[in-house]
């Protein structure tokens, strides 16, 4: 008798959970390397769609990397779809390559742009959506604005840099290790000219090593402020005051480059979209704290922009 009671209780719980869910979930393979998750709001035959592009590194569709789990992009997607906006988020191609032990050593920054363009083409051809927006987070902001041009109905930069990545690196290195700042400036100068070099300090090997130089050269050919000024679509630029990686100044540069864009600065929001009340230690720890909620102001701001 006890088993039947437990079974009935579980059945009631599962029915309740399914009724509470405001969307359906579908796994999609877009190309050989791009897999993602589509969330579609219930009761809307032709919703707006937001395509979410992840930031730097081997970042998956949920905003996570190995040993770093916060589910920030998953929570962003769910929050938007709860508000009636379809969302598609996908693993960067390197995620699948790592799983298959088949990492392309010749991978370029422009490959990420091609992937985002393929995703846009896939959904545009379906003609199932009212409007399609691109949300690019961090590195994904530049990827997003490059792919959105002439294809998307709107673009959202989320913690995206305004400066060229080479200049961003110089500033970060100089801030952390002033003695290396001059060296970083010299190396970036060479890379911007398309020149490789073996003359770099060991301390800067993770940024300028031989295996990554061609990728960085390719990345440095794109300057966000130059690209965003040519985007002829509604643009929303969002940054948080507690972002340890991308300062509010970067968002302001993007706004200056396109005065038609809307700029929103969210107090206490950090780089992984959480609101932090404490110091830098709490901020850094939050990158691996999946129990946290993404900023409600962020969800509200993007929802209002897309539905306006």
pLDDT in tens, 129-144: 999 999 999 999 999 9
Per residue in 223-251, pLDDT (tens digit) is: 999 999 999 999 999 999 999 999 999 99
| 152-175 per-position pLDDT tens digit | 999 999 999 999 999 999 998 998
Of 301, 308, 305, 303, the C-alpha closest to 84 is 303
pLDDT tens for 69-100 read 999 999 999 999 999 999 999 999 999 999 99
pLDDT at res. 20: 74
pLDDT at 66 over 50: yes
124 to each of 51, 118, 130, 153, how far by Cα in Å?
A: 11, 10, 10, 11
pLDDT at 217: 97
Q: What is the mean pLDDT of the chain?
A: 93
- Span 279-297, average pLDDT: 97
Give the pLDDT score at 16: 46
The pTM assigned to this predicted structure is 0.92
Span 246-273, average pLDDT:
97
pLDDT of 21 higher than 90: no
How much is the pLDDT for 9?
Answer: 45
Q: Average pLDDT, stretch 273-277?
A: 97
pLDDT band at 7 (very low <50, low <70, confident <90, very high): very low
| pLDDT at residue 6 tops 70 | no
| For residues 48-57, average pLDDT | 97
Query: What is the rounded distance in angstroms from the CA atom of residue 302 to the CA atom of residue 75?
Result: 13
pLDDT of residue 19: 52
Q: Name, in order, each residue with C-beta under 8 angstroms of 156's C-beta and a sequence gap of 6 or more.
A: 50, 133, 134, 135, 136, 144, 235, 236, 237, 238, 302, 305
The arithmetic mean of pLDDT across residues 285-299, rounded, is 97
Q: What is the DSSP string of 11-48?
A: HHHHHHHHHH--EEEEEEE-SSS-EEEEEEETT-SS--
Residue 17 has pLDDT above 60, yes or no: no
Rounded CA gap, 75 and 247, in Å?
23
Rounded CA gap, 268 and 272, in Å?
11
Residue whose structure tokens are 């700042």 = 181
**Residue 14 above 50 pLDDT?**
no
Q: Residue 11: pLDDT above 60? A: no
Share of the chain above pLDDT 70, in %: 94
């Amino acid at each position: 008798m006890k088993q039947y009671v437990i079974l009935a209780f579980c059945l009631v719980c599962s029915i309740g959970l399914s009724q509470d869910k405001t969307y359906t979930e579908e796994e999609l393979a877009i190309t050989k390397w791009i897999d993602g998750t589509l969330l579609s709001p219930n009761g809307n035959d032709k919703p707006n769609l937001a395509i979410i592009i992840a930031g730097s590194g081997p970042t998956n569709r949920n905003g996570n990397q190995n040993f770093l789990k916060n589910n920030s992009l998953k929570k962003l997607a769910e929050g938007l779809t709860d508000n009636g906006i379809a969302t598609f988020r996908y693993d960067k191609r390197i995620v699948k390559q790592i799983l298959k032990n088949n990492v392309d050593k010749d991978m370029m920054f422009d490959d990420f742009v091609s992937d985002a363009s393929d995703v846009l083409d896939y959904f545009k051809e379906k003609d199932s959506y009212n409007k399609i927006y691109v949300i690019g987070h961090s590195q994904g902001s530049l990827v997003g604005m490059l792919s959105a041009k002439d294809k998307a109905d709107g673009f959202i930069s989320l913690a995206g840099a305004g400066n060229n990545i080479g200049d961003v690196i110089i500033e970060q290195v100089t801030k952390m290790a002033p003695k290396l700042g001059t060296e970083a400036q010299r190396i970036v100068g060479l890379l911007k000219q398309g020149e490789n070099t073996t003359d770099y300090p060991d301390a800067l090997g993770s940024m300028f090593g031989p295996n990554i130089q061609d990728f960085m050269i390719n990345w440095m050919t794109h300057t966000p402020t130059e690209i965003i000024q040519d985007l002829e679509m509604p643009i929303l630029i969002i940054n948080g005051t507690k972002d340890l990686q991308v300062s509010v100044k970067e968002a302001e540069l993007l706004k200056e480059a396109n005065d038609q864009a809307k700029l929103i600065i969210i107090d206490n929001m950090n780089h992984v979209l959480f609101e932090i009340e404490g110091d830098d230690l709490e901020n850094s720890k939050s990158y691996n704290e999946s129990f946290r909620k993404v900023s409600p102001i962020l969800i509200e701001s993007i929802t209002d922009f897309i539905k306006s």
